[in-house]
């Protein structure tokens, strides 16, 4: 990740979470789960940029093969979710869905439910599937309405 990123170009960052209201009784890795799920979906939908493909090619293969989980995927990028990781369509959708707060609402409704916080969601392939099914639904709607 480039060190000189301007804050406006960042959709999310784990650092913003674990330096904020992050529960002290949880491992710091929990700040990466929600970002990793979204990044994994971007990889599976091939909505990433050439830059990301060049930089993360091996990571992407390992993710596809389920050799690394969403948390590890996110940690490898310092919990960073920025515009240069996505292609044009990926950025347009991410701006609408992630930056628009819809992702967080879906995440809360599907995965957080009665948990104490967003950070208590476990990084499991079952949770990944639940969330990516919803993201796919939102993506199809977005494509039909906005493209």
What does the mean pLDDT of the chain come to? 93
Q: Are 125 and 66 in contact (CB under 8 A)?
A: yes
Beta bridge partners of 10: 82
What mean pLDDT comes out for the span 47-68? 96
Sign for the pseudo-dihedral over CA of 110, 114, 117, 119:
negative
pLDDT of 3 > 60? The answer is no
Predicted local distance difference test score (pLDDT) of residue 19: 85
Instruction: Tell me the whole-structure pTM to 2 decimals.
Output: 0.92
| DSSP run (H or E) holding 112 | none
Q: What confidence tier does 2 reach under pLDDT thresholds 50, 70, 90?
A: very low
pLDDT of 6 > 60? The answer is no
Using CB atoms within 10 A of its CB, is residue 44 exposed (0-12), middle (13-18) or buried (19+)?
A: middle
Q: Write the pLDDT tens digit of every residue in 68-114.
A: 999 999 999 999 999 999 999 999 999 999 999 999 999 999 999 99
What number of helices (H) and strands (E) belong to the chain? 7, 2
């Amino acid at each position: 990740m480039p060190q000189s990123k301007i804050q406006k170009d960042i959709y999310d960052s784990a650092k913003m979470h674990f330096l904020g209201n992050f529960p002290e009784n949880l491992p710091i890795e929990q700040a990466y789960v929600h970002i990793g799920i979204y990044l994994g979906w971007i990889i599976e939908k091939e909505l990433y940029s050439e830059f990301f493909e060049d930089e993360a090619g091996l990571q992407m293969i390992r993710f596809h093969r389920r050799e690394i989980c969403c948390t590890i995927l996110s940690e490898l990028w310092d919990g960073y979710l920025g515009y240069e990781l996505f292609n044009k369509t990926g950025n347009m959708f991410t701006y609408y869905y992630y930056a628009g707060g819809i992702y967080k609402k879906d995440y809360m409704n599907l995965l957080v439910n009665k948990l104490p916080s967003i950070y208590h969601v476990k990084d499991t392939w079952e949770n990944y599937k639940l969330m990516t099914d919803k993201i796919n639904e939102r993506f199809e709607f977005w494509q039909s309405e906005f493209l």
